[in-house]
């Protein structure tokens, strides 16, 4: 027993991650595009809580990211946009469609 050679067992798992890597590269490109967009980008959840804003949002509104992330979108309300427009906005994006309209929001300094 003492002179028997050691027996080695190996388990090799091979997984193709090329599709995952391609998806990650696409996500990086999309993220960079959102950050560099010349238009305001604001992403909110279904309850209207802000999850993301891009740098252009900060320039246009005067609000920093940390001041709006986690807050309701109505902090931007100027009172000049009719409630009907906001209803149309939420109904449209809830259906997964693109909303096109004009919102009159306020800057941080009023």
Per run of 10 residues, the mean pLDDT along the chain (length 110 residues) is: 77 92 94 90 89 94 95 89 90 89 85
Instruction: Tell me what pLDDT residue 30 has.
Output: 92
Instruction: Tell me what pLDDT residue 1 has.
Output: 56
Residue 108, phi then psi, degrees to nearest 5: -55, -35
Instruction: Tell me what pLDDT residue 55 has.
Output: 95
- Which CATH topology does 18-94 take? Beta-Lactamase (3.30.450)
Question: Burial letters for 35-67: b for 16+ Cβ neighbours within 10 Å, e otherwise?
Answer: eeeeeeebebeeeeebeebbebbbeebebeeee
Q: How far is CA 87 from CA 6, 27, 81, in A?
A: 73, 31, 11
CA distance 63 to 50: 12
Residue 100, phi then psi, degrees to nearest 5: -125, 120
């Amino acid at each position: 027993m003492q002179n028997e050679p050691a027996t080695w067992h190996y388990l090799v798992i091979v997984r193709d991650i090329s599709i995952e890597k391609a998806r990650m590269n696409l996500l990086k490109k999309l993220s960079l595009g959102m950050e560099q967009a010349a238009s305001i980008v604001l992403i909110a959840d279904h309850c209207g809580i802000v999850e993301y804003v891009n740098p252009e949002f900060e320039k246009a509104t005067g609000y920093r990211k940390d001041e709006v992330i986690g807050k309701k979108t109505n902090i931007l309300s100027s009172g000049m946009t009719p409630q009907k427009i906001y209803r149309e906005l939420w109904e449209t994006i809830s259906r997964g469609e693109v909303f096109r309209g004009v919102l009159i929001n306020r800057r941080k300094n009023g």
